[in-house]
Amino acid sequence: MPAVKSRTADKGKKPASARQLALDVLVRVEQDQSYSNLLLHQALSRSELNKPDAALATELVYGTIQRLGTIDYFLARFVKGGLAKLEPWVRSLLRLSFYQLYYLQRIPDHAAVNEAVDIAKRKGHQGISGMVNGVLRNVIRQKADLVVPDSLEPAVRIAIRHSHPEWLVRRWIAQYGEELTERICEANNTPPHVSIRVNLMRRTRDELLAELRREGVQAEPSPLAPAGIVVEHAGNMALHPLFRSGEFSIQDESSMLVAEFVDPKPGMAVLDCCAAPGGKTAHLAEKMEDTGSIVASDIHEHKKKLIDEQAGRLGLTCIRTLVADANELADRFPPASFDRVLLDAPCSGFGVIRRKPEIKWTKRERDIADIAAVQKEILHRVCRLVKPGGVLVYSTCTIERSENDEMIRAFLQDHPEFALERDDVPALPVSANTPPARNAPDAGAAPEIASAPKAAPTPPVTAVTMAEAYRSEPGMVQIFPHEFGTDGFFIAKLRRLQNGSFSS
């Protein structure tokens, strides 16, 4: 898969290959603790890789990080002295090469090995390239024996097979049980599908669906979100002319549900406490028919621009952006100023691991308690801004119960002036289950080889039943990543009682 000729090639330098670019990103993710999606976007923007090479680089970055635990588990037996003693770039080179050999069918073994050896020669010396060559050829010879034993203790087996930290797997087993945990972990290694949200100020969902289909785009209405459309094999939808003209936004389907729970009406006063990058804010404005007012606040100055850009592109004028710490909002506005308050709280992010796979490796168990303390404080502060009879919606993109349903139950104990909204909440489909595979070819899929580790089939009804159990509390919903192929998300809708006075 040759790269297109670049300007660096004109100066006599070999153009960066997909594997070289992926290696550079992987090293920086490990050393700088940076987000892979941001680094990859920057690297691809600077490169002149053609489309297939850019796709391969993307595959190698995300796939290697997703499968890091499994890769290291197997690689450890081939590297004398252990992976930890290797230079970071050598360690990453072995990992991304192993990923190709073990998980990707369309790349010949010799191509993966030869390029790894070439990179090792350019970046290191003869000794390193010989070691890389020897390790990878040993992997090829023993590939059929690389199987995660079923006899391992469940948390260890799931952690290795589906490449998650063991502490996180143990935590999820304690919260959700072994079967559901395995399905969650398996889903976290599948690529997300692309969904868009129609701008209802411009056209209906059916009208946009019809236009996309006329263009040959494979598009279906979302079974989960009323304004959502799922598209496949459509490329980067941010480059579509209808996106640029504000006809739709790109947003995960479960994220779209937040505005449905807020259910703002035209003319209302709404506060969006942690609004950047503004997707939910814009959805609220569209549902309000761009009348009334929305204060969209975020703590980061540079992210205010993102909200403004969204509003401008979609032609929405009722949004006012504000740079502020969510904890300070109660000091900026009089009590009971808003009909609706949305707190899309900062969280551990365990519901979006498939989009940001490094989250599972960089977060520590102690971080969860710290994040929950922040969430609790913000909730306590902003709830005072809700009018009597008004609505407070709390949401996160995590599946951690201490940040979700347990947080809300503790809040209700401290704030009897609020109650879960048990009636006026959106109905969700009951067909929640593992969605149809939407994997692109080789896009992080398990290898089709006899030795490939595959999850034991889980009876679908078990997963449905267990998942449904966590949404049985009216007013709260927990969506798991394996159910609809969306992000994992939690939403709670609380209403301030008409006579609800604050006791503290």
* Residues taking part in catalysis: 397
- Taking the C-alpha atoms of residue 196 and residue 253, their distance in angstroms, rounded to an integer, is 8
> Closest Cα to residue 62, out of 196, 158, 190, 185?
190
Q: What is the pairing mode between strands 338-344 and 386-396?
A: parallel
How would DSSP label each residue in 1-47? -PPPP-HHHHTTPPPPPHHHHHHHHHHHHHHH---HHHHHHHHHHHS
> Closest Cα to residue 418, out of 374, 385, 383?
383
Cis ω for the linkage preceding 277 (within 30 of 0): yes
What does the block give as tokens for 218?
A: 């494979």
Phi, psi (rounded to 5 degrees) for 2: -70, 150
Radius of gyration of the chain (CA): 24
Phi, psi (rounded to 5 degrees) for 192: -70, 150
- Taking the C-alpha atoms of residue 480 and residue 222, their distance in angstroms, rounded to an integer, is 16
In order of 69, 160, 162, the CA distances from 153 in angstroms are: 16, 11, 14
SS3 category, 491: strand
SS3 category, 219: strand
- Taking the C-alpha atoms of residue 473 and residue 262, their distance in angstroms, rounded to an integer, is 17
Q: Where are the alpha helices (DSSP H) in 237-364?
A: 241-244, 253-262, 279-287, 301-314, 329-332, 359-362
CB 285 within 8 A of CB 202: no
- Taking the C-alpha atoms of residue 397 and residue 347, their distance in angstroms, rounded to an integer, is 7
In order of 99, 100, 113, 143, 424, the CA distances from 136 in angstroms are: 11, 10, 7, 10, 58
In this structure, the dihedral spanned by the alpha carbons of residues 49, 52, 53 and 58, taken in order and rounded to 10 degrees, is: 110
Q: Please, which residues have CB within 8 angstroms of residue 472's CB and are 6 or more apart in sequence?
A: none
- Taking the C-alpha atoms of residue 216 and residue 158, their distance in angstroms, rounded to an integer, is 40
CB 200 within 8 A of CB 227: yes
Question: Nearest-5° angle of CA 150, CA 151, CA 157?
Answer: 60
